[in-house]
Amino acid sequence: MTRSNIALLVLIAAVAALPLFGGAYALRLGTIACLYAVLALSWNVVGGLAGYPSFATAAFFGYGAYAAGVLLGHGWPLWAAIAFATLSAFVAAAALGAVLLRLRGHYFAIASLSLAEVLRELVNNATDLTGGGMGLNIPLASGAGIMAEATFFFFAMWGVLLATALMAIIVGGSKLGFALACIRQNETASSMVGLNTTLYKAAAFGLSACFVSAAGGIYAAWVHYIDPSDVFDVLYSVKPIVMALMGGLGSPLGVACGAFLYLGLEEVVWRNYIQIHTGVLGLLIVLLLLFLPHGLSSLRPDRLWRRAKHV
């Protein structure tokens, strides 16, 4: 249990205290912060640990939103719908991963990117099941007042974040994490020492999907109305990568900090530059990648002299 993992759990516990002093809007921001952290931590398993540039997060998020949304529409309780969304996402992603993860580099990136496109069009055309282009109404999970509902969904998303963080910590220290690190460094050598790369990659892809799908389900119940082009938006695939790059790839703590930092920047930028906020966001991404490739965590003084040596 490295110090950084303990710090991560402390950070998540601190976030849980938000309802004590935050209003409804702060709770909404807190829920989105937990959502972003779930996306980034889940992506990190396949993108940071295994080094596979996955752009499939949006596909899993949309899948979870619609899977849970449809089930909630048919009267399922929230926890059952979320559980189904989580498990089915793991199985589907693992099976898909075994095929897609045979590709590498750009080809894998493009395949994972088009996964969301295919899923969105399938949902778009299954009008009688998902409402297609007309979107899907999700019945109110709990009819209570503003604060009650805001707090309920905040803790629901926070629960998923906690589960994701524990998963990330366990995987990091386990045989799976060790195997993924081997695969990232040299996949051929890994298979030469007896590592079944397809199995471990599929497991990593499944783990990167299940909690994102759970978060998608909670999200659907929270907004009460979803439509395909919103929940399968490519930004859900790109943002986790930027967050992970911001915080420093690989370590769960860095990735989580990256997620919170990203939300802070996005909120400030979105609020103050109404007309040009997407441009400002783009500028941030470019500057980050050009000048801080190892993420902001590499800004700490004692690391600076080492970085200078690299250049």
Partner 1 sequence: MQAAQILINALVLGCLYACIAIGFSLVWGVLNVINLIHGSFIVLGAYLAFGLYNALHIPPWYAVIVAAPLFFVLGYLLQRLVLNRVITAPVLVTLTLTFGLDLILNNAMIYFFKADYRKLTLTPSLGSVSIFDVVVPVDRLIATAAALALTGLLYLLLRRSRIGRAIVAVRLDRDAAVLMGVNVPSIYAIAFGLGAALAGCAGVLMALIFPISPLTSSAYLGKAFVVCVLGGLGSVSGALAGGLLLALVEGVGSTFLGPSHATTLSFVLLIIFLVLRPQGLVGRKGFE
Partner 2 sequence: MNQSWVARRVRRSFPLSAAVLALGAQLSAASAEDVIRFGAPLPITGALAPEAVKQQQGYDLWAEQANKAGGVSVGGKKYKVQIVYTDYQSNTPRAVQATEQMISQDNVNFMFGAFGSGAAKAASTVSEKYKVPTLAATASSSQVYDQGYKYLFGTFTPNDTLTTPLTKIIKTKVPDVKKVAILARNDLFPLAIAQEMEKSAKAEGYEVVYSEKYSIGTLDHSAALSQIKSLAPQWIFVTGYTNDLLLVRKQMVDQQMKAPVVTMIAGPAYQEFIDALGPAAENVSSAAWWHPAEQYDGKDIFGTTANFVKLFKAKYNSEPDYGQASAALCGALFQIAIEKAGSLDRDKVRDELAKLDVVTFFGPVKFGANGQINSLDPPVFQIQGGKPVVLFPQAIKQGDLKIGVN
Partner 3 sequence: MSELLRLERVSRHFSGLQALRDVTLSVARGEVLGLIGPNGAGKTTLVNTICGVTPANSGTVTFDATEITRIKTYQAARLGLSRTFQIVQPFSEFTALDNVAAAALFSQPGASLKGAREAARAHLAFVGLEAQASQPAATLTLAMRKRLELAKALAMKPKLLFLDEVNAGLNSAEVERATRLIHELAAGGITIVMIEHLMKVVLNVCTRIVVLHNGTLIADGAPREVISNPAVVEAYLGQKYAQRSAGHG
How many helices (H) and strands (E) the chain has is answered by: 16, 2
**Site track for partner 2 across 75-104, x = CB under 8 A:** -----------------------------x
Q: What is the DSSP letter of 273?
A: -
Neighbours of 275 (CB within 10 A): 7
> Which residues in the 182-211 window bind partner 2 by CB under 8 A?
184-186
Structure tokens at 190: 């890994």
Q: Which does 152 bind (CB under 5 to 8 A by kind): partner 3, partner 2, partner 1, none?
A: none
Query: Interface residues with partner 1 (CB under 8 A)?
Result: 47, 51, 53, 99-100, 102-107, 109-111, 113-115, 117-118, 121-122, 124-125, 238, 241-242, 245, 275-276, 278-279, 281-286, 289-290, 293
Q: Decide whether 83 or 233 has the Cβ nearer to partner 2.
A: 233
Q: Decide whether 125 or 174 has the Cβ nearer to partner 1.
A: 125
Neighbours of 94 (CB within 10 A): 19
Query: Residue 2 CB, nearest distance to partner 3 (Å)?
Result: 15
Q: Which does 178 bind (CB under 5 to 8 A by kind): partner 1, partner 2, partner 3, none?
A: partner 3
Out of 45, 92, 263, 288, the only residue in the binding site for partner 2 (CB under 8 A) is 263
Q: Which range in 77-85, 159-167, 195-203, 289-297 contacts partner 2 by CB under 8 A?
A: 289-297
Residue owning tokens 């998902």: 130
Q: Give phi and psi for 80, each to the nearest 5.
A: -70, -45
* Rounded-to-integer distance, Cα 180 and Cα 67, Å: 29
The reply on whether position 18 binds partner 2 by CB under 8 A is yes
* CA dihedral over 183, 185, 190, 192, signed as positive or negative: positive
**List of residues 6+ apart from 3 with CB closer than 8 A:** none
